Amino acid sequence: QSALTQPASVSESPGQSITISCTGTSSDVGDFKYVSWYQQHPDKAPKLMIYDVSNRPSGVSNRFSGSKSGNTASLTISGLQAEDEADYYCSSYTSSSTVFGTGTKVTVL
């Protein structure tokens, strides 16, 4: 149950796009379509942004999109806005358990 690997930080200007990677193994990300992404603002509970690799829950902006290739999943945020500044975590289902990513701090310059 090793944590999935994410870049520690990503920065970009408002209006631009960023992509956050999430690398696992053939036992988690690579073996299941059950990758989800969470946004967490400081001192707040996480918020579900993407489930099943690329699906958005109702109410989540279509500026957020997800994809997967092999053992790596990705979250793309387009048209970056100030309120997108937060920590982002991926997670993957893996044989009756769940593993989270190491987390990525997104800074809007």
Q: Identify which of residues 55 and 69 has a Cβ nearer to other proteins in the complex.
A: 55
Vertex 38, ends 33 and 43: CA angle to 5°?
160
Is 52 among the residues that bind other proteins (CB under 8 A)?
A: yes
CB 41, min distance to other proteins, A: 12
Is 66 among the residues that bind other proteins (CB under 8 A)?
A: no
Q: Which helix (H) or strand (E) holds 64?
A: strand 64-69
CB 102, min distance to other proteins, A: 5
- Other Cβ atoms less than 10 A from the Cβ of 52: the count is 13
Is 24 among the residues that bind other proteins (CB under 8 A)?
A: no
Among residues 66, 81, 58, the alpha carbon closest in space to that of 29 is found at 66
Is 1 among the residues that bind other proteins (CB under 8 A)?
A: yes
Among residues 78, 91, 80, the alpha carbon closest in space to that of 38 is found at 91
Query: Which residues of this chain interact with other proteins, rule CB under 8 A?
Result: 1, 3, 32, 34, 36, 38, 40, 45-48, 51-52, 55, 57-58, 89, 91, 93, 96-103
